[in-house]
């Protein structure tokens, strides 16, 4: 299931994502990928986690990002968990409700390739749309 880490700006979402990734690194039977658009977080991750700075890849829309994720999985079928920090900023969206199509497509990837996605979004609990509510952790 796609999981969501949510909270207002400055509430520690990135730290929680990094902690989740580092904790899962010790027990995961597959590869872990951490996606962000800031280089400064690379040093906080376990060195077994693949860090991807999406600013290097000209990603500006949900469709391009989804294609990027497909390529990431196609390149390595051992990927088991993908952490995506601040997905709204990465794909240039203003509103969490605009994530519905991407969210649905991520579920398809999860089902087909047994990959888990963990996304952080800058939003209060009251702003989480219905299609995401069950995914909040």
Sheet-wide strand order for 116-122: 3-7, 116-122, 79-84, 31-36, 50-53
pLDDT of residue 68: 97
DSSP, collapsed to helix, strand or coil, labels residue 42 as helix
Mutual angle of helices 62-75 and 100-113, in 10-degree steps = 10
pLDDT of residue 47: 92
pLDDT of residue 101: 94
CB 17 within 8 A of CB 118: yes
Question: In the chain, which residues have pLDDT < 70?
Answer: none
CA distance 74 to 33: 13
3-135 homologous superfamily: P-loop containing nucleotide triphosphate hydrolases (3.40.50.300)
Single out the residue of 70, 58, 59, 75 nearest to residue 117, CA to CA: 70
pLDDT of residue 61: 92
CB 30 within 8 A of CB 137: no
Sign of the CA dihedral 127, 39, 104, 115?
A: negative
Single out the residue of 119, 91, 129, 102 nearest to residue 6, CA to CA: 119
pLDDT of residue 67: 96
């Amino acid at each position: 299931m796609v999981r969501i880490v949510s909270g207002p700006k400055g509430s520690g979402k990135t730290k929680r994502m990094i902690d989740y990734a580092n904790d899962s690194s010790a027990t995961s039977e597959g590869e872990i990928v951490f996606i962000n658009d800031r280089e400064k977080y690379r040093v906080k991750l376990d060195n077994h986690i693949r860090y991807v700075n999406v600013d290097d890849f000209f990603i500006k829309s949900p469709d391009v990002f989804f294609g990027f994720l497909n390529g990431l999985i196609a390149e390595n079928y051992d990927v088991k968990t993908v952490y995506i920090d601040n997905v709204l900023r990465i794909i240039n969206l203003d509103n969490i409700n605009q994530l519905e199509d991407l969210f649905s497509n991520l579920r398809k990837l999860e089902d087909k390739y047994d990959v888990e996605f963990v996304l952080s979004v800058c939003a209060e609990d009251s702003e989480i749309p219905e299609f995401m509510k069950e995914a909040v952790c």
